Structure 1
Amino acid sequence: MGKSKGTAGVVRITGARSSLTEDVRRRQRRYMISMAVRTLCVILAVVLWKESRILAIIALVGGMFIPYVAVVIANAGRESPPTMPETFIGHQPRPMLETGVQGVPAPAPTTPQG
């Protein structure tokens, strides 16, 4: 049996969230990147202090506000659960037994003959 040829996309069959370990790892990574940018801002402020005070002050202000933003983003919590795949929402099969279908009256109840 060979694989079918074509470009079929991956179909997600569950609405489960990512694991807690993966979520914590992702938030830690974002926090570490933010702190690296903050460190670069502070170093840039020190280097630029004698060359351009305006750019140094801007970098210093950025270095002061980045920790607050990084903590808020890191503590924002888990992502919302994904929605169900659209492939399951669109098709709704008709019920097997119907009564009173669009202008057709329902059959009269029958009485047992005895």
Structure 2
Amino acid sequence: MSRKRNGKQKQVFRITQARQGLAEDVRGRQRRYVISMSLRTVSVVVAAALWNTERYVAVVALVLSVVLPYIAVVVANAGRETPPGLDRVTAPVPPVRPALLPGEAAASAPGRERTAP
């Protein structure tokens, strides 16, 4: 993309797929972790409150409260990956020359002419 300014071409670059800032990334991960730990706290309270009345619901809430810390840590640590599309910025790959087939090796040797079968 280019713009004209005073009769000269000036190249303008757009950054559409840039990473988010580090502070914003950490803030988002902390928010996800706090939300997950809040859900864990609620599930522990539900398990304790329903233990004598609804045992099955209490057991599900208890299992959820045991599994949620692991999920919260994995989700909170999942960050700062390369966004899709940024890997295409690398230099172009040179074209690959096709390999010779077994019968073509002798026919393409220097000094030999190819004869029709």
TM-score range (shorter-chain normalised) is: 0.5 to 0.7
Alpha-carbon distance between aligned partners in 1 of 2:84 and 2:18, rounded to the nearest angstrom = 7
Q: Deviations over 1:14-37 (max 9, x none)?
A: 032100000000000000000000
Alpha-carbon distance between aligned partners in 2 of 1:29 and 1:46, rounded to the nearest angstrom = 26
Alpha-carbon distance between aligned partners in 1 of 2:53 and 2:81, rounded to the nearest angstrom = 44
TM-fit CA distance, 1:46:
0.5
**TM-score, with structure 2 as normaliser:** 0.58
Q: Which of 45, 48, 64 is the equivalent residue of 1:46?
A: 48
Counterpart in the other structure of 2:60: 58
**TM-score, with structure 1 as normaliser:** 0.59
**Coordinate RMSD, CA, aligned:** 1.8
Q: Deviations over 1:7-61 (max 9, x none)?
A: xxxxxx2032100000000000000000000000000000101111111011000
- Uncovered stretches (5+) of structure 1, i.e. residues with no partner: 1-12, 85-114
- Uncovered stretches (5+) of structure 2, i.e. residues with no partner: 1-13, 87-117
Answer 1 or 2: higher relative contact order, Cα 8 Å, separation at least 6: 1
Alpha-carbon distance between aligned partners in 1 of 2:69 and 2:81, rounded to the nearest angstrom = 21
Contact residue 16 and residue 82 of structure 1 kept, 8 A: no
TM-fit CA distance, 1:81:
2.5
Counterpart in the other structure of 2:24: 22
- Describe how 1:1-114 pairs up with structure 2 within 5 A: 13-14=14-15, 15-81=17-83, 83=85
> Could you list the runs of 4 or more consecutive aligned residues of structure 1 that deviate by over 6 angstroms after TM superposition?
none
Alpha-carbon distance between aligned partners in 2 of 1:19 and 1:81, rounded to the nearest angstrom = 13
Contact residue 45 and residue 56 of structure 1 kept, 8 A: yes
